Homo-oligomer: A and B are copies of this chain.
């Protein structure tokens, strides 16, 4: 619950300083795992107490950073033009949404990794997952012939999990565009078989 706004300017200034410092650290450092809270506090020129009061705990800080970076995409999805916006026909919006998620994770590898794997509880309990799943599920539901929207949404999102993306980009050295193409391809396959008209009908 330590999330209420403060009107005091020192509090606001410090919160901002922490955000900036943390952002820099997470981007610069190799792994997010070896950025300690003490590091962040020091880099921000602030005491640990301040840091924890402002964000509650490590996860809270991560969340704040994540949401800040996610904001533009959220906007584009909620009120933007096609292919991300709500006016897009479902069949085109699903790949667009997943592509957006993938790109976001590619652009924010360390952060996404830290938040998604970040110890304790599963990513599925983190409240930032639910909106995506809900939306995707709703869009999938509008595609005729597609059953199990709920599971399908989960499964598709699973293909963009931060650690998988990290593995593909880092270990397997797959270039961004190729990964996007592969994901698009995969999504197409899932959507393509429409009314699950058997393996035989080539149409």
A residues adjacent to B (C-beta < 8 A)? 33, 91, 113, 117, 119-120, 122-125, 147-148, 150-152, 154-155, 158-159, 161, 163-164, 166-168, 171-172, 174, 179, 182-183, 185-186, 188-199, 202-203
By DSSP majority rule, is chain A's interface helix, strand, loop, or mixed?
helix
Which of B124, B155, B185, B199 interacts with A196 by CB under 8 Å?
B185
Instruction: Determine the chain B residues whose CB is within 8 A of the CB of A163 once the complex forms.
Output: 122-124
Contact between B154 and A168, CB atoms less than 8 A apart:
yes
Q: How far is the CA of A150 from the CA of B178 in the complex (A)?
A: 12
Which of B120, B164, B167, B193 interacts with A192 by CB under 8 Å?
B193
Q: How far is the CA of A188 from the CA of B151 in the complex (A)?
A: 14
Known: A158-B159, A161-B158, A190-B190. A166 touches B197 (CB 8 A): no
Instruction: Determine the chain B residues whose CB is within 8 A of the CB of A171 once the complex forms.
Output: 124-125
| 28 A–B contacts, CB within 8 A, in A order | A119-B119, A122-B166, A124-B163, A124-B164, A124-B166, A124-B167, A125-B167, A147-B185, A148-B182, A148-B185, A148-B186, A151-B182, A151-B183, A154-B159, A154-B164, A154-B167, A154-B168, A155-B183, A158-B158, A185-B196, A188-B196, A188-B199, A189-B189, A189-B190, A189-B192, A189-B196, A190-B190, A197-B202
Instruction: Determine the chain B residues whose CB is within 8 A of the CB of A188 once the complex forms.
Output: 193, 196, 199
Contact between B193 and A189, CB atoms less than 8 A apart:
yes
Instruction: Determine the chain B residues whose CB is within 8 A of the CB of A113 once the complex forms.
Output: 122
Contact between A186 and B124, CB atoms less than 8 A apart:
no
Minimum CB distance partner of A147 in chain B: B185
Q: How far is the CA of A192 from the CA of B202 in the complex (A)?
A: 9
Instruction: Determine the chain B residues whose CB is within 8 A of the CB of A203 once the complex forms.
Output: 197
